[in-house]
Amino acid sequence: MITLEEKKLEEIEKMTKSCGRLLVLGCETCAAMSFAGGQRQVAELASAIRVGRKQSEDQGEVVEDSIARQCEPEFVDLIGDKVAECDAVLSLACGAGVQLLAERFPDKVVLPGCNTSFLGVTEELGVWSERCAGCGNCILDKTAGLCPIARCSKQLLNGPCGGSMNGKCEISKEVDCVWQMIIDRLTRLNRLEMLEEIFPVKDWTPAGHGGPRKMVREDLKT
Amino acid sequence: MTKNDDSMEISYPPCQAACPILTDAREYIQRIAERRYEEAFNSVRKLNPLPGVCGRICTHPCEAACKRGQVEEPIAIAALKRFASDGPWTGQYKAVLPDKPTGHKVAVVGSGPAGLSAAQDLALFGHQVTIFEGLPVLGGMLRVGMPGYRLPKDVVDEEIRSIADLGVEIKTGVRIGEDFTISDLFDQGYQAVFLAIGAHKDRKLGVPGEEGLEGVVSAVSFLREVNQGENPEVGKSVAVIGGGNTAVDSCRSACRLGAREVHMIYRRGSEEMPAAEEEIREAIQEGVQISYLTSPVEILGKDGKVSALKCIKNELGKPDVSGRRSPKPIPGSEFTLDVDMVIAAIGQAPDSSLIADDVGVTERRKRIIVDGPYTLVTTQPGVFAGGDAVTGPATAVEAISAGKRAAISIDLYVRGKPVPTTEAPKAHETASLPQRLIDRTKTFARSRKASISVDQRLKGFDEVDLVFSEEAATKEALRCLHCYLGAKVDTEKCVSCLTCVRVCPLGIPTTSKMGEITIDAYLCQACGVCVLECPVRAIDINLGSRGEIAQHIEEAISSSKQPGPAIVGFFDLHGNFASKDVESLAQDYPNILPLMVFGLRRLDTSDILKAFEYGADGVFLAACQPDRDPFPKETERVKQRAAHARTLLEALGIDGGRLEIFDMPQEGLVEKESVAEMIQRLGNSGQARSA
C-alpha cells in the first residue's frame, strides 16, 4: 500500500484559512489504511478545523465527505456536485489523488491534507515500513526477496558497504543493513553463490529518471 | 443455541431465548447499569405483570443460559429483576389501555400467575375480563402455596392491584364446579373462558397409615393454612416426604411454626433433587435434616395419632422415563424415625373433578387436554386452558407464559379470527465459548444477595432475601457481556484494513483470504474498540454507538443554559456511583454536563473535539478504577487519544488545560475539588476572553 501521514494541523489551518466553505474529502483506501484519510480522520480533522475557525472567527462552513479512491476519475466525478458548492477542497489522499481532483475540478482550490510517504507494509497496527521504491525493474529474485533499492541507505546493488556494523546501517542503529539480511537469507536458503554475479550499473530510466512515467496497456484500452 | 444458522431469524441473547415469556433481561440489566431504574422497571413490566413475584421466586432459566456463566458465574438476573421492581420508581408505571373497549367478555377461572397474566393481556387488548377465584384470596399458588418468607403477600397483592386497575373485575370465593359451571359463564354472556385452575390436589403417598391418622397432612393444604395466616399446629418432629420446592417450603414453614426437628425424606440422591439449590441450602441452615435415598414404607400411629415413620433406604438403578435414575429399595435397610407429623409433598395434580364434565382431561394425571402448547384450545369451543392445570406443577413464569399465549388465542377467537397452530420454538442451548475467549475475559465476582439471620428467620415469616443494594445491583448489571449488542461490519464500507482484527482485545474478528471480515455477534462483548478504531467507520454497534455518543454530546451542550463555562464530563458507567451522585453533581455543579459511557475506551479524539466544536469550554474524562474496568488496557489507549486531542487544541491556540483526565474516586462520580478547580479556572479564562 501507499502510506500517508496527515499534515500538521498548524500547516492545514494556515492553508485552509480564509478559503471559505471547505470540503474535507477522505480517501477510503490507502489513506484510510494509513489512518490519514478515512472517514474517522475526516471527522477528526474537520472538527479540529471548525474549532480553529471558531477560535479565530474565520468564516466558512466545513463539510465532510469521502470517496473510495481519489485516484479514479469515476469516483472523483461522483463528488462533483458537492465540490461545486464549496470554495476549496482539502484532500486527504496521496499526491495522486490530490492531483486528480485538481485535474477534474479545474476551477477549484484543491489542497493536500496529507504527505505521501512510501510503498510499504504494515508491521503492526500503527507501524509501517518502506519496502518498494517503484524503480520499475524488480530484482528481488536475485536478492533473496529483500530490496536494496528501497532498503539500503545508499541503494547499493553490490553491498554491503564498509558502514555495515553488526547487521546495522551506519546511518542509525535503528536501521538494519539490508545487505547483511540478504547475505543471511541467501545463506539460509543455500543460495549464497548468487552473489558471485555482479550487478551491472542500474538503468534508472524505468524509475522515472527518464521523465514522468506513463503506462499503457493496449489490450485494456477501450 | 442462540447463534442462528439461519441469519433471517432474530438472534435473542441466551437469557431472553431461555425465558418462557422472552423477557429482554439484557435490556433491563443495561438500564440498571446506566442507573436508569425506572426504565429498567418499565422494561420488565411491559411484558411481565408480576415482576416483583418473578424477581423473587422465578426459577430463572435465563441464568442457566447466561453466557457469563461459562466465564465464572451467570449474572444474578432474578435478583436484578427484583431490584428493578422494588424501588420507589415503580409507581410511575402506567399501562396503556386501548381507547375503545371491544365489548367482548372473557371469564378467567383462577387467579394464579396464568390467570392473572391472561387477564392483564386481555384487558390490554380491550376486552372486558372477570376473574373467578375459588379461594377467598387472590394469587393462586403464589398466595397460598408460596410461603411469605420467599414471597411476601403484599408483593403479590400490589401486583394484582395493578392488574385490577386495568378494569379487570374480580370475584373471590366462587369455585368452579361447585358455585358455577362453564355453561353458566356462557349463559352470562362470556364469549370465552380461560381455565387456569392450577394443580392444588396433592398426590397420595400410597403407604399404610396415610389415611385415618391424625398428623398426616398434604403439603398443599398445610401450606394453604400457613399462607392464610391460620398458624396450623405442627408436631415436635416433622417428616416431609418429597424433594421438590413444595417439600422444602413445607419443611421451612414447619421450622418457623415451632417444629424442633424437621426431616426431609427424599427417595433419590442430592444430585437428582428437583428443589432449587438455594432453597435447599437455606433449609439446611434453618436446621432441616435431609435424608436422601430414603422412601417411606409405613406411617405408624398410637392412639390415632402419628407416632413414627418407617422408612427404607434406596439405591439408584437405571434411568427412568424422566431420565433420572430410579430408586430401588435395599432389602433389610428399614429404619424408623420418631415423628408426630407427616407432610406429603410428592406432587400435585389439577382438581379436575371440578371441570371434567365440560372439557377433556388426561387419563392418569387428570390434566386438561389442549390441542397445542401455543393455542391452549380445549376440547370445548371457546374454552381455553393453561398453567399447572395443563402442564402439572410447573414454574410461575411458565404459567405466566401460558396466560399470555391464552390471551392471544382468546383475542383471536372472540374477534372471530382463526387461532393458528404455531409450533413451539426449538429449544436453544447457549453455544459454548471457545477457551481462548474465556481466558481473555476478565472475571468479576457475582453479587450476593444479603439475607436476614437464621435466628431472625425462624422467628416468623419475614422475607429471607434482601433486595440488592444499589451498589450491588449496578455492579452486577455491569457484569453483563452484552450478547448480540456488539460490532457489526458493513461489508460495503469495509476496506479490509484489518484494524478490527488487530485491536479486538478478545480476538473475535476474523478475515478470509480475500479480506472479508466476520465478527461473531454472539461472542462479541460490545467493548466498542473496533467501532472506534475502524478508519472507514464501517463498524457499528448497538451498545453506545458512535452516532449515539455524538448525539448525546450535542444535546448536552445545546440544553445547557448555565452562566459560566460549559464543561462536558465523560463518565465511565463502570465507576462506583449511585443515581443520587448524578443528581447531586447536577445540583452542585450545573456547569458540568455529564455524559455516561459504557467505557471511556469508546471515546475517540473526534468526540473530544466535537464537544469543543459544539461550544464546550472544557472537557474532562473520568476514568473508573482499573479493577472495575472490564477492558483496562483499552481504556489506557483513550489517554493517548486525549493527548493527541490536546496537541490539536494547542495547535489551534487553545489551552490544552481545557482537556483533563480525572480518576473516579472509590465512591461517587468525581473528586469535587478537581471539578471545582476546573470550573473556576475556565470561568476566569472565559471572562478574560470576553473582556
pLDDT tens for B615-634 read 999 999 999 999 999 999 99
pLDDT tens for B305-327 read 999 999 999 999 888 887 778 89
Strands A172-176, B169-171: pairing kind: unpaired
- Between CA B14 and CA B21, with CA B18 as vertex, the angle to 5 degrees is 125
Residues of B in contact with A10 (CB under 8 A): 651
Please check the confidence at residue B461 and state whether its pLDDT lies above 80.
Answer: yes
Q: pTM for this one?
A: 0.92
More confident residue, A58 or A108: A108
Query: Reduced to 3 DSSP states, what percent helix, strand and coil does chain B have, rounded to the nearest 5?
Result: 35, 15, 45
Please check the confidence at residue A154 and state whether its pLDDT lies above 70.
Answer: yes
CA distance A40 to chain B (A): 5
Residues of A in contact with B495 (CB under 8 A): 28-29, 32-33, 38
What mean pLDDT is predicted for residues A63-81? 97
Q: Report the residue of B490, B568, B652 to disrupt the A interface, i.e. the one with the largest count of A CBs within 10 Å.
A: B652
CB contact (8 A) between residue B651 and residue A32? no
- A54 in reach of chain B (CB within 8 A): yes
Q: Report the residue of A6, A27, A28 to disrupt the B interface, i.e. the one with the largest count of B CBs within 10 Å.
A: A28
Question: Strand locations in B604-658, DSSP E?
Answer: 618-623
Residues of A in contact with B498 (CB under 8 A): 122
Longest CA pairwise span in chain A (Å): 68
What mean pLDDT is predicted for residues B645-665? 95
Please report, for residues B135, B136, B170, B293, the alpha-carbon distance to residue B173 in angstroms, rounded to integers and kept in the order given: 5, 5, 10, 41
Please check the confidence at residue B691 and state whether its pLDDT lies above 60.
Answer: no
CA A56 to chain centre: 32
Please check the confidence at residue A23 and state whether its pLDDT lies above 60.
Answer: yes
Query: Which of A35, A40, A48 shows the shortest C-beta gap to B537?
Result: A40
CB contact (8 A) between residue B606 and residue A56? no
CB contact (8 A) between residue B535 and residue A10? no
What mean pLDDT is predicted for residues B362-379? 84
CA distance B596 to chain A (A): 21
CB contact (8 A) between residue B652 and residue A32? no
Please check the confidence at residue B8 and state whether its pLDDT lies above 50.
Answer: no
User: In percent, how much of chain B has pLDDT > 90?
Assistant: 81
The count of CB pairs under 8 A between chains A and B is 71
Nearest to B311 by CA among B326, B327, B325, B291: B291
pLDDT tens for B109-137 read 999 999 999 999 999 999 999 999 999 99
| Alpha helices, H only, B113-171 | 113-124, 141-144, 153-164
What mean pLDDT is predicted for residues B373-395? 89
CB contact (8 A) between residue B606 and residue A54? no
Contact partners, residue A2, CB within 8 Å, separation at least 6: A30, A34, A94, A116, A117, A118, A119
In three-state secondary structure terms, B546 is: helix
CA distance A35 to chain B (A): 6
Query: Which of B606, B649, B654 shows the shortest C-beta gap to A44?
Result: B606
pLDDT level of residue B426 (50, 70, 90 thresholds): low
Nearest to A27 by CA among A101, A131, A83, A97: A97
What mean pLDDT is predicted for residues B662-670? 95
**What is the rounded CA–CA span in Å between residue A8 and residue A1?**
22
What mean pLDDT is predicted for residues A192-213? 94
pLDDT tens for A28-41 read 999 999 999 999 99
Strands B237-241, B261-265: pairing kind: parallel
Give residue for cell 501521514: A5
Residue type, B176: I
Cis, peptide link before residue A160, omega less than 30° from 0: yes
* Residue B378, Cβ density class (10 Å: 0-12 exposed, 13-18 middle, ≥19 buried): buried
DSSP state of B260: S
Please check the confidence at residue B2 and state whether its pLDDT lies above 60.
Answer: no
Task: Report yes or no: A119 and A139 within 8 Å, Cβ to Cβ.
Answer: no
Please check the confidence at residue A76 and state whether its pLDDT lies above 70.
Answer: yes
Cell of B305: 395419632
pLDDT level of residue B580 (50, 70, 90 thresholds): very high
CB contact (8 A) between residue A9 and residue B648? yes
What mean pLDDT is predicted for residues B382-407? 93
CA distance A72 to chain B (A): 16
Cell of A163: 558502514
Contacts of B419-424 with C-beta under 8 Å, sequence gap 24+, read B419/B375, B419/B377, B420/B375, B421/B371, B421/B372, B421/B374, B421/B375, B422/B372, B422/B374, B422/B375, B423/B374, B424/B373, B424/B374
Residues of B in contact with A5 (CB under 8 A): none
ipTM field:
0.91
DSSP state of B175: -
Positive or negative, the CA dihedral B413, B414, B416, B417 is negative
- A63 in reach of chain B (CB within 8 A): no
Please check the confidence at residue B600 and state whether its pLDDT lies above 60.
Answer: yes
Nearest to B389 by CA among B185, B219, B194: B194
pLDDT tens for B250-284 read 999 999 999 999 999 999 999 899 999 989 999 99
Q: Tell me which residues of chain B have a C-beta less than 8 Å from any C-beta of chain A.
A: 493, 495, 497-499, 502-503, 533-537, 604-606, 609-610, 612-613, 647-649, 651-654
CB contact (8 A) between residue A32 and residue B495? yes
**Residue B564 confidence (pLDDT):** 87
Please check the confidence at residue A13 and state whether its pLDDT lies above 80.
Answer: yes
Least confident segment among A124-133, B199-208, B334-343: B199-208
CB contact (8 A) between residue B613 and residue A124? no
CA B232 to chain centre: 33
**What is the rounded CA–CA span in Å between residue A61 and residue A81?**
16
Task: Report yes or no: A74 and A34 within 8 Å, Cβ to Cβ.
Answer: no
Please report, for residues B1, B71, B168, B542, the alpha-carbon distance to residue B441 in angstroms, rounded to integers and kept in the order given: 20, 7, 49, 20
pLDDT tens for B485-541 read 999 999 999 999 999 999 999 999 999 999 999 999 999 999 999 999 999 999 999
Please check the confidence at residue B688 and state whether its pLDDT lies above 80.
Answer: no
- A191 in reach of chain B (CB within 8 A): no
Question: Strand locations in B275-410, DSSP E?
Answer: 289-291, 294-302, 305-319, 325-329, 335-337, 341-344, 348-349, 383-385
Contact partners, residue B445, CB within 8 Å, separation at least 6: B72, B73
Task: Report yes or no: B551 and B568 within 8 Å, Cβ to Cβ.
Answer: no
Strands B305-319, B294-302: pairing kind: antiparallel
CB contact (8 A) between residue A47 and residue B606? yes
- A52 in reach of chain B (CB within 8 A): yes
Give residue for cell 467493548: B527
CB contact (8 A) between residue B609 and residue A48? yes
Number of H helices, E strands in chain B: 25, 24
**What is the rounded CA–CA span in Å between residue B503 and residue B524?**
13
User: Beta-carbon neighbour count of residue B94 at 10 Å?
Assistant: 10
Please check the confidence at residue B59 and state whether its pLDDT lies above 80.
Answer: yes
**Residue B424 confidence (pLDDT):** 64
**What is the rounded CA–CA span in Å between residue B429 and residue B17?**
9
SS (H, E, C) B280-311: HHHHHHCCCEEECCEEEEEEEEECCEEEEEEE
DSSP state of B465: B
Residues of B in contact with A27 (CB under 8 A): none
What mean pLDDT is predicted for residues A178-198? 96
Residues of B in contact with A121 (CB under 8 A): none
**What is the rounded CA–CA span in Å between residue B370 and residue B605?**
61
Positive or negative, the CA dihedral B188, B193, B196, B200 is positive
Query: Which of A32, A51, A66 shows the shortest C-beta gap to B609?
Result: A51
**What is the rounded CA–CA span in Å between residue B438 and residue B433?**
7
Residue of chain A nearest B538, judged by CA positions: A39
**Residue B4 confidence (pLDDT):** 40
CB contact (8 A) between residue A55 and residue B606? no
Please report, for residues A12, A15, A63, B162, B175, the alpha-carbon distance to residue A22 in angstroms, rounded to integers and kept in the order given: 12, 11, 6, 59, 80
**Residue B9 confidence (pLDDT):** 52
Please check the confidence at residue B690 and state whether its pLDDT lies above 50.
Answer: no
What mean pLDDT is predicted for residues B22-49? 96
**What is the rounded CA–CA span in Å between residue B418 and residue B404?**
17
**Residue A211 confidence (pLDDT):** 94
Please check the confidence at residue B22 and state whether its pLDDT lies above 70.
Answer: yes
Please check the confidence at residue B95 and state whether its pLDDT lies above 90.
Answer: no
DSSP state of B170: E
CB contact (8 A) between residue A51 and residue B654? yes
pLDDT tens for B536-560 read 999 999 998 888 999 999 999 988 8
**Residue B10 confidence (pLDDT):** 61
**Residue B413 confidence (pLDDT):** 95
Nearest to B244 by CA among B264, B218, B223, B217: B264
CA B450 to chain centre: 18
**Residue B427 confidence (pLDDT):** 65
Please check the confidence at residue B138 and state whether its pLDDT lies above 70.
Answer: yes
**Residue B592 confidence (pLDDT):** 94
Task: Report yes or no: B71 and B433 within 8 Å, Cβ to Cβ.
Answer: yes
Please check the confidence at residue B686 and state whether its pLDDT lies above 70.
Answer: no
Please report, for residues A59, B148, B570, the alpha-carbon distance to residue B601 in angstroms, rounded to integers and kept in the order given: 34, 46, 11
Please report, for residues B17, B21, B326, B374, the alpha-carbon distance to residue B425 in angstroms, rounded to integers and kept in the order given: 10, 12, 31, 10
| Residue positions counted in chain A | 222
What mean pLDDT is predicted for residues B197-212? 91
Please check the confidence at residue B436 and state whether its pLDDT lies above 50.
Answer: yes
